[in-house]
Structure 1
Amino acid sequence: MPTHPSDQHEVRSPRRSRLRRAVAGFAAVATAVAGLALAPAAATAADDAVTLTLLGINDFHGRIDANTVKFAGTIEQLRAQAEGPVLFLSAGDNIGASLFASAVAKDQPTIDVLNALGLQATTVGNHEFDRGWADLSGRVAAASDYPQLGANVYYAGTQTPALDEYALLDAGGLTVGVIGAVTEETASLVSPAGIADLDFGDPVTAVNRVAAQLTDGDEGNGEADVLVALYHEGAGAGTPDGATLEQEVAAGGAFADIVEDTTPAVSAIFTGHTHKQYAWSAPIPGTGRTRPIVQTGSYGENIGVITLTIDPATGAVSAHTERNAARTTDGDDALIAAYPRAAAVNDIVTAARAAAAEVGNTAVAEVSADITTGFSGGSYVDGVYTGGARDDRASESTLGNTVADMLRDALSVLPNGAVIGVTNPGGLRAELWDTQAEFGATAIPGLADGTISFSQANAVLPFNNTLALVTLTGAQFRTLLEQQWQRDANGNVPSRPYLQLGLSDNVAYTFDPALPEGQRITSITVNGQPIDPAGTYRIGTFTFLAAGGDNFRVFTEGTGYVDTGLLDYEAWVDFLADGSPVAPSFARHAVQVSGVPTTATAGTTVSFSVAGLDLTSRGAPQNTTLSATLGGQPVGQATVSGGAATVSVTLPATLAAGQASLTLTAQPSGTVVTVPLTVEAAPVPPTASTTTLVPVFPVHINRLLPTTLVAAVTLPGSRATASGTVEFREGGATGALVGTATLKKGVATLRLGILSRGTHAYTAVFVPSDPTTVAGSTSNAAHVIVLK
């Protein structure tokens, strides 16, 4: 484990000042009495440095399951290994989006586990607000032995903190100030109705404000020797897993602010929210020092471990280490025997799972194959997607689209019911596995493969949201799809810059991410027909989204809002039971199409590119071909590689002008893509003409009997006469111009002048007035004999 030297932190604490004066006074006395030098005294102070261990978790999300005792045992092992005092902290989202055993009991088992483990402080996460402010400030706070911190959570319209801003914890005689702050995006991540009394400010500004207060020398407003920040905010979802600290900071946003703008007075930072895993020694801008910044991933799979080497006389941090410790694989029995806290956790978990099993282990439906969220980092093996990590919220998924089907179907039977279902990816918290072994900790012993229990179904939608109806115009629905490219209410790009909506199977659309913001959706079809911008569409969704959650604010502009009161998990279980066995659809609803021409002419070739044809849900097939039809007739086929293809089709010359649609079908997924085209009719070929040239006299006698050339131009199949001019040329069609005459009633004449003796050949070239409607033509050769 690397150790990072750190310059001294200036922590202005009166208690520390008194201690420093006492140490200095003692040194002076010792020097006078025993003749000792100050240098040995300084060395003794260094030898007395305190090693403070900080254990951190984030985004535990009520993981009351077969791994909870191991989670507890890992914390206890790390406590036992620590050299000095230990603090156990959390960066938020301890509850909410929980597994069934916790969710069915409103997360009381999770609170009990954290109490048993001696959690000493937590910042609130956005999910702490899932049941609303009243629940958090009342039931949850009362049940928790640890403070819920939120320095940037204010009563609406004020700067008055609604939560404790910090906690002062004793660690081996040191006072550690722990400051908590939650993502500023919280207002868009939970039901707005539940937090109507609150505002969420900038987290870094709040942490810095409280840090200044705790180091201002005024014991009346709290003083600390060492400061630790708990941010429920972290490295962004827009950067890849495994990105470096430098890459994350370069991406900007909230995490860059945390790294670069958190006051140097803060010695260590735990983060959360984005479910990323990292342990970095981060430079503190403007100083020569570094400090640890840690996030553990999620679900208790790791415990963050930060050690700070602290001078107890000054509060200065001289060195630090940081790492993520993986959850132990030791057996539960050994952990329970070794650690009383692990034994207490086992009792809580056993009781909670037994209570939940009474309803949770009941079989409710069957699935014929895995139905999952989008995965990242996997690959196609034998043409089927496998591996990777779940919950890629920027990717379309079989589970998201299936939940959207549920929303539409459950609400379509109501008066003025839904015609479209829409869900958000962050609401999908577990998969529907076909194999019980794939459920891992949530597998139900004795439940047959392909069978879904109540608890497994509930784990997908654990929020207890109600279902809502709202009417959007076609134009507003297009805006809804545009808002997948995220902006918060202040116009900033949040840490998850793109969220892929799940849509019911009667909706499909194309997009081009290279187009300007607000213009990226290029076509939408509903029930196979182009969406009508002025038409109205009844949307079935969750109350969270209908209230503008996840920055889909256009929902708040809709009309006819109804909170049906139907609970999400009840409608979901009914949907699964009614459709059992439920099969995943691997057909994509959203496909990238780029380079489609603004207009296309009948009879010409149209080329464009298609991408993103392959889903990344588990079991999704890799597409290999893309066929194109127009009006039901095949017009081309392309090879698909890596989900992309180049389409090139020749439009029939007889295709009528106006709107047309190419239909692309990818196999084997069955994805259907509708590409609208504006067609211009093929140009009508000009009418052919015939030019005939005759001399009035074949013998030309200069001045005495000159010859006149007469050219007649005819148009076949019509009584119309040609208009234009005739060029009379000596020789062929490109010969020397002799003269030009305008057609009159289809005839043009030219009287020849003085010519040299011999035989001359002439040609007439018809030049039409409008060559787009009548084609020019060239006559036969006419010979004239010149005698004198």
Structure 2
Amino acid sequence: MIESLPRRRHLARLLPVLLLPALAACGAQGRVASTAPAAAPVTVGIIALNDFHGALEPPRTAVLVPDGKGDARPVPAGGAAWLASAVDSLRAQYQHSATVAAGDLISASQIASSLFLDEPAIGVMNRIGLDFNAVGNHEFDHGTDELLRKQSGGCAQHTARKPCQVEPFPGAKFRFLSASTYKADGTTLFPASGLRSYGKGKRRVEVGFIGLTLKGTPSLVAPEGIRGLTFGDEASAINAEAARLRRGGADAVVVMIHQGGYTSGLPNPDGCANLTGEIRPILDRLEGGVDVVVSGHSHWAYVCEYGAINPERPVLLTSAGVYGQLVTDITLEIDPKQGRVVARRARNVVVQSDPYVSPRGPVETAADLPRFTPRPDVAAYVGKYVDAARDYAQRPVGRLGGPVARGEVAGIGNQGGSLGNLIADAQLAATTGAGAQIAFMNPFGIRASLNPAADGALTFGAIYASQPFNNTLVTQSLTGAELKAVLEQGFDDDGPHQVLAPSAGFTYQIDRSRPIGQRITAMALNGQPIDPAATYRVTTNSFLAGGGDSFTVFTRGRDSVSGMPDIDALEAWLKAVPPRPVPSEERVTRADR
């Protein structure tokens, strides 16, 4: 299934899926106590990541780093073998450490992981030495039973795809945590927290780790996959578990939560510039006892002393972007006598990998940032799965008239651009037999640009990287009024704004200066205004048809017809006209400029 991804803000225009890291030189520090401890504190390192999404190989998207001149430059980053070396280098700095993740380790993955039910993504984390992972929404994409197999191992089949195709699957050596995900009997699906002890005697300290997914998970995954589960309030679960850990003797509490936020501007030592997002109301309701919050889901990168925003909630908030391109180095100084953190700091480290050429030009390594040598055992392990997927991934699927990337509508970053239009065109063509007149593609369902070879050739692996969710197409009837209502949901302030990419012939206009519910000011099909009372046949992927990404109006559709997988529709569209031209016309416009 498809999750909601972040609003990309102005810097993200520079490259597809660009992120803002806080560099090694940009640490955030916070002092919890004004009275110095009687003895030297115990130092514990927390090495954190989030939203790995089975990125076994370098994802060929860049992170943005400051160029020292008030602007930013792209740097190649990511890849499991490079990530393993980066984690090792950070871990070597500490006598005591833990490695944790804030969810979405799996699903929406690269083809070498996805083909094998993300068993290699779990295997990578086992080799890296992960200790705890908070359950993210994507962990539920294949259902609860399959997620439980990810923890315990084995080859029981819970999906259409056969498990253990390459080798027996031992399961995760690390522990999934889910303090706010409840079974029908009221118990949590996985343990709410874990505890680690460091040092001996009077210098022994204990650190508690709490893991949570986001409350909105039911709107992001297929209902049948989470039947019998409820997703509770995150702040309430944190407060209850933090209090329990403190009563049990925890000297520090670290929360890993699959929810996050966004900042603006270039990275800076504070990292809190204009912090927005669903993480803020959660932090504002914390009752104390929490020292660090490792966040995820937004795919944004930040290191933020939240006390600068809300002095009553002085927690250190971090996020390491997406795809293992960054890793967060968090240092806690814990006074064992007082039983509390007396100092803390954090920095995001860029996991530099090899240079590559993007649809917008070369992306070179930065000489002034650390370079990591791929760890041989992880590289060999990844190579085994890449080789197993090679024939499937390298199969030619057609030709494209040029590179195509996600785009923006005059400053709205959550828009599929020409690539979204191309996919919508493919889905319309694949469902004309079901009467389809219009197709829509959600921007958060597009994960990578298409960058064909010099002759325009594309492989299945390339298009799969763009659409890795294995959705099917659904064609259904909606009235013109319902069409407007669903487009309005993209701008209703319930989550980030997003522009549904329409198929050729359908156009609409946005005016965000108008009140909610009145922001779609024009709609037309083949030049004719949409009639609110008329019925239209509309195609979307099955995720959207089920109300995903909060587009709940799609669930009102009637006379539904299920079609082929979305990836098959794109392949057929590319093969039909070699090379397939890249859509260039403007289909969505803004009236509030």
Q: Which TM class, normalised by the smaller chain length? A: 0.7 to 0.9
* 1:148 equivalenced with 2:176 (yes/no): yes
* 1:267 equivalenced with 2:291 (yes/no): yes
For residues 81 and 328 of structure 1, the distance between their equivalents in structure 2, rounded to whole angstroms, comes to 19
* 1:92 equivalenced with 2:119 (yes/no): no
Give the conservation status (yes or no) of the 8 Å contact 2:404–2:451: yes
CA drift at 1:85: 0.6
The residue type equivalent to 1:216 in the other structure is: R
For residues 326 and 6 of structure 1, the distance between their equivalents in structure 2, rounded to whole angstroms, comes to 26
SS in 2 for 1:215: helix
For residues 432 and 224 of structure 2, the distance between their equivalents in structure 1, rounded to whole angstroms, comes to 25
SS in 2 for 1:394: strand
Residues 468/141 of structure 1: CA separation in 2 closer, same or farther (3 Å cut)? farther
Give the conservation status (yes or no) of the 8 Å contact 1:401–1:504: yes
For residues 124 and 208 of structure 1, the distance between their equivalents in structure 2, rounded to whole angstroms, comes to 18
Q: Which residue of 2 aligns with 1:463?
A: 469
The residue type equivalent to 2:226 in the other structure is: I
Task: Summarize the alignment of residues 272-283 of structure 1 with structure 2, pairs less than 5 Å apart.
Answer: 272-283=296-307
* 1:80 equivalenced with 2:92 (yes/no): yes
Structure 1, residues 218-264: CA drift from partner, whole Å, max 9, x if none? xxxxx533210011111148x66759755545x4x522224433332
Residues 178/520 of structure 1: CA separation in 2 closer, same or farther (3 Å cut)? same
Q: Which residue of 2 aligns with 1:165?
A: 192
* 1:431 equivalenced with 2:449 (yes/no): yes
> What is the TM-score of this pair, normalised by structure 2?
0.80
Q: Which residue of 2 aligns with 1:12?
A: none
The residue type equivalent to 2:194 in the other structure is: A
For residues 587 and 83 of structure 2, the distance between their equivalents in structure 1, rounded to whole angstroms, comes to 40
For residues 492 and 197 of structure 2, the distance between their equivalents in structure 1, rounded to whole angstroms, comes to 42
Task: Summarize the alignment of residues 597-608 of structure 1 with structure 2, pairs less than 5 Å apart.
Answer: none
Q: Which residue of 1 aligns with 2:70?
A: none
The residue type equivalent to 1:362 in the other structure is: R
SS in 1 for 2:462: helix
For residues 376 and 548 of structure 1, the distance between their equivalents in structure 2, rounded to whole angstroms, comes to 23
For residues 267 and 584 of structure 2, the distance between their equivalents in structure 1, rounded to whole angstroms, comes to 29
Residues 377/273 of structure 1: CA separation in 2 closer, same or farther (3 Å cut)? farther
CA drift at 1:312: 2.4
CA drift at 1:377: 12
Q: Which residue of 2 aligns with 1:760?
A: none
Q: Which residue of 2 aligns with 1:352?
A: 385
Q: Find 2:591's aligned residue among 570, 582, 593.
A: 593
* 1:225 equivalenced with 2:251 (yes/no): yes
* 1:129 equivalenced with 2:140 (yes/no): yes
Q: Which residue of 1 aligns with 2:394?
A: 361
* 1:398 equivalenced with 2:398 (yes/no): no
Residues 286/102 of structure 1: CA separation in 2 closer, same or farther (3 Å cut)? closer
Q: Find 1:418's aligned residue among 429, 436, 445.
A: 436
Q: Find 1:296's aligned residue among 305, 315, 320.
A: 320
CA drift at 1:328: 4.2
Task: Summarize the alignment of residues 203-352 of structure 1 with structure 2, pairs less than 5 Å apart.
Answer: 203-217=234-248, 223-236=249-262, 247-249=273-275, 251=276, 253-283=277-307, 290-329=314-353, 342-352=375-385
For residues 178 and 284 of structure 1, the distance between their equivalents in structure 2, rounded to whole angstroms, comes to 24
The residue type equivalent to 1:145 in the other structure is: K
CA drift at 1:267: 1.2
Q: Which residue of 2 aligns with 1:193?
A: 224
Q: Which residue of 2 aligns with 1:727?
A: none
Residues 245/524 of structure 1: CA separation in 2 closer, same or farther (3 Å cut)? same
CA drift at 1:288: 8.0
The residue type equivalent to 1:358 in the other structure is: D
**With CA pairs under 8 Å and 6+ residues apart, which has the higher RCO, 1 or 2?**
2
For residues 572 and 151 of structure 2, the distance between their equivalents in structure 1, rounded to whole angstroms, comes to 31
Listed as ranges, the gaps of 5+ residues in structure 1 are: 10-38, 218-222, 332-337, 379-391, 436-447, 488-492, 595-610, 612-788
Q: Which residue of 2 aligns with 1:478?
A: 484
Give the conservation status (yes or no) of the 8 Å contact 2:271–2:303: no
The residue type equivalent to 2:585 in the other structure is: A
Structure 1, residues 64-120: CA drift from partner, whole Å, max 9, x if none? 1153211111111111122x2110000111111111111121211111000111110
CA drift at 1:147: 1.7
For residues 345 and 194 of structure 2, the distance between their equivalents in structure 1, rounded to whole angstroms, comes to 23
Task: Summarize the alignment of residues 547-566 of structure 1 with structure 2, pairs less than 5 Å apart.
Answer: 547-564=546-563, 566=564
For residues 241 and 548 of structure 1, the distance between their equivalents in structure 2, rounded to whole angstroms, comes to 35
SS in 2 for 1:484: helix
For residues 308 and 336 of structure 2, the distance between their equivalents in structure 1, rounded to whole angstroms, comes to 22
Residues 347/170 of structure 1: CA separation in 2 closer, same or farther (3 Å cut)? farther
> What is the TM-score of this pair, normalised by structure 1?
0.61
SS in 2 for 1:475: helix
For residues 218 and 312 of structure 2, the distance between their equivalents in structure 1, rounded to whole angstroms, comes to 37
Q: Which residue of 1 aligns with 2:580?
A: 582
Q: Which residue of 1 aligns with 2:129?
A: 118
For residues 580 and 174 of structure 1, the distance between their equivalents in structure 2, rounded to whole angstroms, comes to 64
How many residues align? The count is 510
For residues 342 and 205 of structure 2, the distance between their equivalents in structure 1, rounded to whole angstroms, comes to 15
* Greater fraction of residues in strand: 1
CA drift at 1:366: 1.2
SS in 2 for 1:321: strand
The residue type equivalent to 1:206 in the other structure is: A
* 1:521 equivalenced with 2:520 (yes/no): yes
For residues 421 and 414 of structure 2, the distance between their equivalents in structure 1, rounded to whole angstroms, comes to 14
Structure 1, residues 589-640: CA drift from partner, whole Å, max 9, x if none? 111236xxxxxxxxxxxxxxxx4xxxxxxxxxxxxxxxxxxxxxxxxxxxxx
Q: Which residue of 2 aligns with 1:7?
A: 32
Give the conservation status (yes or no) of the 8 Å contact 2:134–2:257: yes
* 1:104 equivalenced with 2:115 (yes/no): yes
SS in 2 for 1:580: coil
Give the conservation status (yes or no) of the 8 Å contact 1:235–1:248: no
SS in 2 for 1:464: coil
Residues 285/371 of structure 1: CA separation in 2 closer, same or farther (3 Å cut)? closer
Give the conservation status (yes or no) of the 8 Å contact 1:393–1:425: no
Structure 1, residues 497-525: CA drift from partner, whole Å, max 9, x if none? x0111111121112322222111212211
CA drift at 1:134: 2.7
Give the conservation status (yes or no) of the 8 Å contact 1:506–1:528: yes
SS in 1 for 2:291: strand
Task: Summarize the alignment of residues 720-735 of structure 1 with structure 2, pairs less than 5 Å apart.
Answer: none
Give the conservation status (yes or no) of the 8 Å contact 1:6–1:290: no
* 1:56 equivalenced with 2:48 (yes/no): yes
SS in 1 for 2:518: coil
CA drift at 1:179: 0.5
Higher mean C-alpha displacement, 105-114 vs 577-586: 577-586
Give the conservation status (yes or no) of the 8 Å contact 1:423–1:542: yes
Give the conservation status (yes or no) of the 8 Å contact 2:415–2:501: no
For residues 313 and 435 of structure 2, the distance between their equivalents in structure 1, rounded to whole angstroms, comes to 61
Q: Which residue of 2 aligns with 1:786?
A: none
CA drift at 1:370: 1.2
SS in 2 for 1:533: coil
SS in 2 for 1:508: strand
The residue type equivalent to 2:576 in the other structure is: D
What is the aligned-residue identity percentage?
A: 34
Give the conservation status (yes or no) of the 8 Å contact 2:235–2:283: no
CA drift at 1:216: 2.6
Query: Please, what is the CA RMSD of the aligned residues?
Result: 2.9
Give the conservation status (yes or no) of the 8 Å contact 2:407–2:416: yes
Task: Summarize the alignment of residues 615-626 of structure 1 with structure 2, pairs less than 5 Å apart.
Answer: none
The residue type equivalent to 2:549 in the other structure is: D
Give the conservation status (yes or no) of the 8 Å contact 1:100–1:360: yes
For residues 520 and 409 of structure 2, the distance between their equivalents in structure 1, rounded to whole angstroms, comes to 24
